Amino acid sequence: MTENRYDYIIVGAGSAGCVLANRLTEDARHRVLLLETGGSDKSIFIQMPTALSIPMNTKKYAWQFETEPEPFLDNRRMHCPRGKVLGGSSSINGMVYVRGHARDFDEWDSEGATGWHYRNVLPYFRKAETWAFGGNDYRGDKGPLGVNNGNNMQNPLYKAFIRAGSDAGYFETDDYNGTQQEGFGAMHMTVKNGRRWSTANAYLRPAMERDNLTVVTHALVHKVLLDGKTATGVRYEQGGKVHEAKAAEEVILSAGSIGSPHLLQLSGIGKREVLEKAGIEVKHELPGVGENLQDHLEFYFQYRCKQPVSLNGKLDWWNKLKIGVRWILRKDGLGATNHFESCGFIRSKAGVEWPDLQYHFLPAAMRYDGKEAFNGDGFQLHIGHNKPKSRGFVHVQSADPKQAPTIRFNYLQHEADREGFRDCVRLTREIINQPAMDEYRGAEIQPGAEVQTDEEIDAFVRQAVESAYHPSCSCKMGTDELAVVDPETRVHGIRNLRVVDSSIFPTIPNGNLNSPTIMVAERAADLIRGREPLQPSDAPVVMDDQWQTRQRPGQAKRALA
């Protein structure tokens, strides 16, 4: 068994781990080891944005986790892929860039993650990015992460969808990551110069030029090494050999919302009954490890398109070849976008303070994994209720680190979540039936006009919903009995051990998780280094001043909150 010594050991080269590797090695005095189970991200299928469905469904690049039968989804097992490659899930995701609503982070602060309110986190969102249209009080212009709008909504269906939202009485928003999330507008993506701009491209590659960073791939971490209640290093396997690495300062888990709780449990940190059932010695009882698991669900609302403008006409082998060759030669065209170029964020009902429903608009009718393309022209909306009340868990099954944990989200367990999806169906139909869509809207393919009653909608949703691939909150940050880390991201009761990734979110934000995960890592890096936090922002947030009494604003005056 070989042994090496470092100042910091980071487990997981994903959305958070790559950020930490970069920021911690800015100080040349810090020797950092970054461990990743996967390998290189240089595949064309990772780097080409339009090929996003391939790495997500490839064992080489993603853990192909599957849930236990979900009792409120007719006992379906749900696919839960997680990145297993440099860049982690930022190398296999849909590249959608959504920070979440300002109130999501105020909610974190109120849940016990003191200091993680919107005023404090906005500067770290700005620090992380370079927004293609220039910096301002909300957007950054000097950060590693390139963000743009893909092909700038050249397909007419994108803008028709935005106009339909306006026709239905909702806001149009110039920047849902800026002043105002609520409304319909252009969607943003982590693409730069036509390439997927993962955290591997944005953060890790520049850091790998530094002598004080060591990156080890194909390394499966077995456990965190403990000396009493102090983390001293990790044990990992590479090429059939077992190694130990020691950390003089800290061990930081950035293995994601499945990997981080699983690794804590393998190390003897977690709920006593879960560890004992798996035959693992309890080193530190921490009941919240693996609990509070949350995710977003979504389904596809599909329509025929009356005009031949959708992407369905580009799915034959000849057009795919042309798109691929153009991307290889020029890094532009349809190969340089994820195709989700317009979107919407709305509130499901009066009395909901900030948006809890999210739309991704796609000018094609197909599955997210690229399969089962509709025969003919069509378009679809990915729609989901994004503030679920249902909670699940990640539980270790055995002391063998190669055995996947038990995962169950308990999707739609809570009646409020089922009600939210009924709102999704009814509000979407109203939006798509606005005049702006008249020249494009054909017959409803899915759910189908016959699905009308609560019971019919519920039955459709149980069979049609899929994960939006946003597992989170399984090592929540806070101070209550289920909190795993404190507001400094330190594991309660264990010295020199932190968790920094989406697992520490107290609640799931209204949006995709890559951006807030990067923000968490940026802020955590300052906490780890003992640096003064960035100056809080006073940038105002636009809200509907009558949210308590109406579901949409119509043409009413907006209010600054």
pLDDT in tens, 190-214: 999 999 999 999 999 999 999 999 9
User: Cis (ω within 30 of 0) for the bond into 516?
Assistant: no
pLDDT at 366: 83
Residue 372, exposed/middle/buried by CB under 10 A (0-12, 13-18, 19+)? exposed
Q: Does position 439 have pLDDT exceeding 70, yes or no?
A: yes
Q: Residue 561: pLDDT band by 50, 70, 90 thresholds?
A: very low
* Residue 279 burial (C-beta neighbours within 10 Å; 0-12, 13-18, 19+): exposed
Burial class (CB in 10 A: 0-12, 13-18, 19+), 209: exposed
Give the Cα separation of 267 and 174 in Å (integer). Answer: 47
The predicted pLDDT at position 315 comes to 84
Q: How far, in Å, CA of 413 to CA of 392, rounded?
A: 9
pLDDT at 555: 45
pLDDT band at 554 (very low <50, low <70, confident <90, very high): confident
CATH code: domain 1-102+197-293+391-404+470-532 is 3.50.50.60
| Residue 560 confidence (pLDDT) | 38
> For position 3, what pLDDT does the model report?
64
Whether residue 266 is predicted with pLDDT greater than 90 in this model: the reply is yes
Q: 218, 414, 470, 492: which one is catalytic?
A: 470
Structure confidence at residue 368 (pLDDT): 58
Q: What is the mean pLDDT of the segment spanning 22-43? A: 97
Q: Mind listing the pLDDT tens digit for each residue in 180-190?
A: 999 999 999 99
Instruction: Point out the annotated binding site for FAD.
Output: 7-36, 85, 93-96, 221
| pLDDT score at 321 | 93
In the predicted model, what is the mean pLDDT of residues 25-36?
97
Which is it for the CA torsion 23, 496, 108, 298, positive or negative? positive
Residue-level pLDDT at 314: 87
8 Å CB contact between 304 and 443:
yes
Q: Going by CATH, does the domain composed of 150-186+297-385+412-464 fall within 2.60.120.10?
A: no
How does residue 559 score in pLDDT terms, banded at 50, 70 and 90?
Answer: very low
| 238 has a pLDDT exceeding 70 | yes
Whether residue 269 contacts residue 102, with contact meaning beta carbons closer than 8 Å, is answered with no
Q: What is the pLDDT of residue 558?
A: 39
In angstroms, the CA 152 to CA 132 distance is: 11
Tokens matching residue 147: 């963000």
Neighbours of 498 (CB within 10 A): 24
Q: Is 60 exceeded by the pLDDT of residue 29?
A: yes
Q: Is the pLDDT of residue 370 over 70?
A: no
**260 close to 254: Cβ distance less than 8 angstroms:** yes
Higher pLDDT, 126 or 369: 126
Q: CB-side exposure of 528: number of CA atoms within 13 Å?
A: 34
- Note the pLDDT tens digit of each residue in 154-183: 999 999 999 999 999 999 999 999 999 999
**Average pLDDT over all residues of the chain:** 95
Residue 164: CB atoms within 10 A of its CB come to: 24
Classify strands 145-147 and 466-467 as parallel, antiparallel or unpaired.
unpaired
Which of the four pLDDT bands, split at 50, 70 and 90, describes residue 378?
Answer: very high
Q: Which residue spans within 412-479 are E strands per DSSP? A: 441-446, 466-467
What ranges do the domains of the chain cover?
A: 1-102+197-293+391-404+470-532, 150-186+297-385+412-464
The model's confidence at residue 373, banded by pLDDT at 50, 70 and 90, is: low
Q: How confident is the model at residue 316 (pLDDT cuts 50, 70, 90)?
A: confident
Q: Does the structure show a pLDDT above 70 at 344?
A: yes
Express as a percent the part of the chain with pLDDT over 70.
97
pLDDT of residue 556: 40
Asked if pLDDT for residue 367 goes beyond 80, the answer is no
* pLDDT at residue 369, as a whole number: 58
Q: Identify the H or E element spanning 247.
A: strand 241-253
In the annotated binding site, the residues are 7-36, 85, 93-96, 221
Catalytic site includes residue 222: no
**Higher-pLDDT residue of 128, 558:** 128
- Segment 45-72, tens digit of pLDDT: 999 999 999 999 999 999 999 999 999 9
Instruction: Answer yes or no: are the C-beta atoms of 222 and 401 closer than 8 Å.
Output: yes
Euclidean distance between CA atoms 441 and 559, whole angstroms: 34
